[in-house]
């Protein structure tokens, strides 16, 4: 899951044509996804971190608008990788997401739009982007625009963060709880903190 926003690093490589750009990357082990919500008894927070192999992605940049369109850019994450730091909550989160039937969370990247006009990224400065994605949970797909903040930490190291509120019902997910005594809120907050290095 932590690979979710690595595609934005293509913004560093501005182009004067619509020629597809390929970028190599490696995700740092410190990268993390957090999913938080509430029940009528307590708040909960689930985390997901994985070790990823080096990868390459491809995107096409519109030189006039800065819009980036992705082709064959998708991510799948193991649903059971979510750890809510409580056995019962983790168990019922996996059941709610139908982890046995749909073992992966899928994210397809459609396009990304920079919300700044800088041609070069300045080290230490935060840049904002909107990324259009199709998120699939428990076999149901929905389109979401994710707000992303990108910071260049040094020549090849970058940090990306984002948060987005989703609802379980929009994915037709009925949150399962022990004996239906515990009532879970429909809204959940997903947050990302990613560090990655890039290379040609």
- Cβ neighbors of 53 (< 8 A, separation 6 or more) are none
CATH of the domain at 152: 2.40.128.110
| β-bridge mates for residue 114, sequence order | 129
Asked whether the beta carbons of 185 and 37 are under 8 A apart, the reply is: yes
In a domain? residue 64: yes
Question: From residue 4, how far is each of 49, 178, 195 by CA, in Å?
Answer: 12, 31, 11
- Total domains in the chain come to 1
Dmax over CA atoms of the chain, in Å, equals 60
Identify the CA nearest to 58 among candidates 92, 19, 17: 19
In a domain? residue 66: yes
Please identify which residue in the block is written with the tokens 């096409």.
60
In a domain? residue 1: no
In a domain? residue 73: yes
Summarised one tens digit per residue, pLDDT across range 158-182 is: 888 889 999 999 999 988 887 777 7
In a domain? residue 13: yes
- State residue 161's pLDDT score: 87
Domain span at 104:
6-198
140-152/126-137 β-pairing: antiparallel
In a domain? residue 125: yes
- State residue 70's pLDDT score: 79
In a domain? residue 99: yes
pLDDT tier at 55 (50, 70, 90 boundaries)?
low
In a domain? residue 188: yes
């Amino acid at each position: 899951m932590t690979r979710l926003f690595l595609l934005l690093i293509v913004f560093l490589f501005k182009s004067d044509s619509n020629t597809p750009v390929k970028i190599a990357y490696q995700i740092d082990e410190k990268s993390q996804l957090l999913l938080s919500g509430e029940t009528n008894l307590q708040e909960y927070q689930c985390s997901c971190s994985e070790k990823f192999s080096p990868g390459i992605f491809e995107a096409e940049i519109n030189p006039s608008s800065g819009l980036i369109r992705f082709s064959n850019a998708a991510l799948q994450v193991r649903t059971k990788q979510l750890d809510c730091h409580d056995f019962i909550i983790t168990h019922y989160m996996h059941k709610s997401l139908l982890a046995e039937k749909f073992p992966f969370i899928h994210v397809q990247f459609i396009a990304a739009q920079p919300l700044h006009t800088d041609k070069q990224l300045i080290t230490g400065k935060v840049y904002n982007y909107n990324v259009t994605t199709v998120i699939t949970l428990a076999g149901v797909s929905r389109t979401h625009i994710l707000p992303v903040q990108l910071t260049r930490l040094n020549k090849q190291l970058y940090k990306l963060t984002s948060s987005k509120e989703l609802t379980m019902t929009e994915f037709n997910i009925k949150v399962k709880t022990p004996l239906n005594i515990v009532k879970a809120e429909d809204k959940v907050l997903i947050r990302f903190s990613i560090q990655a290095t890039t290379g040609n």
